[in-house]
Amino acid sequence: MDTASVARQLTEWITQQVEAAHMRGVIFGLSGGIDSAVIAGLAMRAFPNSSLGVIMPCHSNPEDREHALMVAKAFALKIVDVDLSAVYDTLLQAAAHATAGLEVSRLGLANVKPRLRMTTLYYFANVHSYLVLGTGNLSEYTIGYFTKHGDGGVDLMPIAGLVKAQIRDLAAYLGVPQLIIDKSPSAGLWANQTDEAEMGMSYQQLDKYILTGEAEPKVKERVDRLAALSAHKKQLPPIPKLEGCSR
């Protein structure tokens, strides 16, 4: 991969998309992970004076915020910090009576967090007339490793054509702090969560399959199954065609 060329193309693409939408800049969640750090680097190249990173802890590891601040400093990125912990607690308390006696899965509870973050990003996007940049990469997008209407609820997905290994190369080129590049990828939805443990495979295995079509049978089966199960996440809601009503 020609990293310099990719960085240039993505920067130009972001600029063109925002201008075509008649918006003023870009906004994105800054998690302290490598994907959002790469988005920060690209955003500041495209819109150095109108990019905004939003740090949104929600019962999160304090280290994630520290790493997000490190990224913001590295790119001289303007940020806002909105702690969603109390909002999360209030929502679950308000819904408690309706779920009494029902089992709510850990994932179901965790997915509330990225959906609150999506709402927060669009609030600020509306205030500033910015477009929301997604931080998802091709590895995660392929298997649906994102929350529908959460971190998947965005306007543009600049790095969704790059696998994780390519993201690391791009991060190094853009000047992302090495600590961020080297840390274990995690969505941070619960304590000690890691992407690879939840996906059931390594990024290396997943990236190889995406790029070459080659994988161990168990990896191929899992990737294909997860891709099929998550297909609905990548499509607009279906609309029925009714006789005598639809054109």
- Residue range 48-66: mean pLDDT, rounded: 95
Reduced 3-state DSSP string for 206-243:
HHHHHHHCCCCHHHHHHHHHHHHHCHHHHCCCCCCCCC
pTM here?
Answer: 0.92
Q: How many residues does the chain have?
A: 247
Contact 185, 165 (CB under 8 A): no
Instruction: State the pLDDT at residue 117.
Output: 97
The DSSP code for 246 is: -
Instruction: State the pLDDT at residue 190.
Output: 59
Which is more confident, 238 or 55? Answer: 55
Q: CA dihedral in degrees (137, 140, 146, 151; nearest 10)?
A: -10
Domain coordinates of the chain in residue numbers? 3-234
Instruction: State the pLDDT at residue 199.
Output: 81
Instruction: Report whether pLDDT(247) > 80.
Output: no
Instruction: Fold for 3-234, please state it.
Output: Rossmann fold (3.40.50)
**What is the per-residue pLDDT across 95-136, written as a single tens digit (0 to 9) for each?**
888 888 888 888 889 999 999 999 999 999 999 999 999 999
What is the enclosing helix (H) or strand (E) of 131? Answer: strand 130-132
Q: Which residues pair with 27 in a beta bridge?
A: 52, 132
**What is the per-residue pLDDT across 161-186, written as a single tens digit (0 to 9) for each?**
999 999 999 999 999 999 999 987 76
